[in-house]
Amino acid sequence: MSRFMTKLLALCWVLVSVAGCGPFRAAEQPPAGPASSAGKNLCLLESEGCPPRKMSIIELIRGLREEVAKGEAVYTPAELRRLETRLWEYELMYDRLMHGNND
């Protein structure tokens, strides 16, 4: 019985040690990549200057919606069309992943 208790205490010690490492996780990065001086997000627009951590599909959709909302005050009509097309593609991909919709 003492061998069982020793193993149980060792297991509990390992679990407590691992649980204590939670606060050392990397901080979450914002969804938007670096912006140019004109306020454009080049990461979402041209895939240039993106952070080393890849954005999730939800972060990409959120970032694209924010950039499209800036409108022609920041982007040219051609750039807005490119952002809207990417947003549409990612929303379609997300829908297919979540719901298995192939339409």
Model's pTM, two decimal places?
Answer: 0.60
Residue 68 near residue 87, CB atoms below 8 Å = yes
Residue 96: partners with Cβ closer than 8 Å, 6 or more residues away: 102
Residue closest to 84 by CA, chosen among 57, 70, 60, 64: 64
Q: Which pLDDT score is estimated for 48?
A: 82
Dihedral of the alpha carbons of 23, 49, 56, 45, in degrees to the nearest 10: 150
Q: Which pLDDT score is estimated for 47?
A: 82
Of 92 and 8, more confident? 92
How is residue 38 written in tokens?
């004109």
